[in-house]
Amino acid sequence: MGWLLDKIKSASSEFWIQQIFVSLASTNPVTDPYFEPPHLPASATVTILGAGAWGTALAALATIGGHSVQLWSRQSQQPLAEAIAAADIVLSAVSMRGVPDTALHLQAAQIPANAILVTATKGLDPATRQTPAQIWQAAFPDHAVVVLSGPNLSEEIRQGLPTATVVASHNLVAAERVQSVFASD
């Protein structure tokens, strides 16, 4: 906090001081890396979009960790809005080609306000050359978006073999939450 006092003392304008306090009072999960959603229960409710090998492996991992997991796909009988209604975490494990369409469907389904969005999709959108995280953040500017990626294979995870996964986000609290949900021994 000493750096803040130094900035305030050396500030030459009221605007600078005002900007410091505005940034400290931020409650935006995108711009504030320490934004903490109002509820972070020990056990998370996770909805995974995409029931392929990767989505299924991540669902199994979260289930083993004691979390409530729902796996949803385009072929699911359950409507998307119902699948995400109580989600603390919504993880997309759809193919890159399906990300833009899935984002549109998720917008229409009205994701819970405090839900963390996780993308486990690799690649770039051929039309826009955007990463999945960029597409998700553009579609949901008020939500924390976390990227889950790394040198891992779904089959290795299913077999319980040692793997490594990287979790990254502009929101540190959201990244740590996702890390805790998908971590294993």
* pLDDT tens digit sequence for 155-168: 666 666 667 788 99
104 Cβ partners below 8 Å, 6+ apart?
139
User: Would the pLDDT of 40 be above 60?
Assistant: no
pLDDT attached to residue 108? 95
Phi, psi for 166 (deg, rounded to 5) = -100, 135
For position 42, what pLDDT does the model report?
76
Give me the phi and psi of 92, to 5 degrees please: -100, 120
What pLDDT band is residue 3 in, cutting at 50, 70 and 90? very low
Inform me whether the pLDDT recorded for 58 exceeds 50: yes
Domain boundaries, the chain: 45-182
What is the average pLDDT across 146-174? 80
* Residue 2 pLDDT level (bands cut at 50, 70, 90): very low
Average of per-residue pLDDT values in the chain: 81
Contacts of 25 (CB under 8 A, 6+ apart): none
Q: Which pLDDT score is estimated for 157?
A: 66
Q: What is the CATH number of domain 45-182?
A: 3.40.50.720
Collapse the DSSP code of 69 into the 3-class scheme (helix H, G, I; strand E, B; otherwise coil) and give the result.
strand
Alpha-carbon span 34 to 36, nearest angstrom = 6
pTM: 0.76
Q: Is the pLDDT of residue 25 over 50?
A: no
> What's the pLDDT at 184?
78
The model's pLDDT over 96-126, given as tens digits with 9 standing for 90+, comes to: 999 999 999 999 999 999 999 999 999 999 8
pLDDT of residue 41: 59
pLDDT for res 71: 96
Question: Looking at residues 136-150, what average pLDDT do you find?
Answer: 95
- Residue 22's pLDDT is 36
